[in-house]
Amino acid sequence: MSSTKHPIKAGHSHTCHLYLTRVCRLLLIITDMMSLHCCGTAHTMVTSRTGFDRKEMAKGETIHPIRRDWLSGMSYVALGEKYAIDQRTAKRYAMSNLPLEYLDNRPFSSVLNPYKASIDKWLLNGRIFSTVIHDRLIEQGCKCGYTTVNDYASKKMDEYERAGIYKDGAQVTRDTTTQQEKISIEKQRMRG
């Protein structure tokens, strides 16, 4: 038996795949610009990789800028930076060929909007863990995720740090008392 060597060196198959993907994207753009019809294997390769079928162009659909940039070889991260959106959103817009006008409806209102005043008040008293803030919000009936609370609290604590509200080197204090315990403490103070 004769052994046939593969023309691609070991470890370079990923690089070749990326190169072929970009070539296919460029072929699609060129054919769209020239209004030529693709056929056979090249069309199958382009369609399977990009999720874009020539039938879309036959229907008169336009290629929106995010998709055009993606087809020209920009990564989802680069698209996200260019259009100021998350890379996952950029991927969805590129794959679905969504128009930029849909981005005008963003940003959506936050679940925390009714609770931001309370969070700000808690943070003005000093740094506290985001888990404590999250627990307090859950006790008040807020249906929010920890990540949402953590993102907002971190930004606010950084803002307060820059404004000089927190002392230099102030550590986050863990407030372990629950809302129910605080209410009972306040009731005891009122009685006595």
Q: How far is CA 78 from the centre of its chain?
A: 13
Q: To 5 degrees, how large is the angle CA 137–CA 162–CA 126?
A: 40
Give pLDDT, residue 121.
92
Give pLDDT, residue 169.
53
Whether 25 and 72 have beta carbons less than 8 Å apart is answered as yes
pLDDT digits (tens, 9 = 90+) for 159-192: 988 888 877 555 555 556 677 787 788 778 778 6
If you average pLDDT over every residue of the chain, what do you get?
74
Confidence of residue 89 (pLDDT cuts 50, 70, 90): confident
Whether 182 and 170 have beta carbons less than 8 Å apart is answered as no
Q: How far apart are CA 81 and CA 76, in angstroms?
A: 9
At 162, list the tokens: 């820059």
Q: Which residues contact 135 (CB under 8 A, 6 or more apart)?
A: 178
Q: How far apart are CA 174 and CA 192, in angstroms?
A: 27
Give pLDDT, residue 47.
44
Which of the pair, 105 or 53, is modelled with greater confidence? 105
Best CA proximity match to 149, nearest among 165, 137, 164: 137
At 101, list the tokens: 């006008």
What does the pLDDT average to over 56-81?
82
Q: Where are the domains of the chain?
A: 13-105, 113-183
Q: How far apart are CA 156 and CA 57, in angstroms?
A: 47
pLDDT of residue 130 exceeding 80, the answer is yes
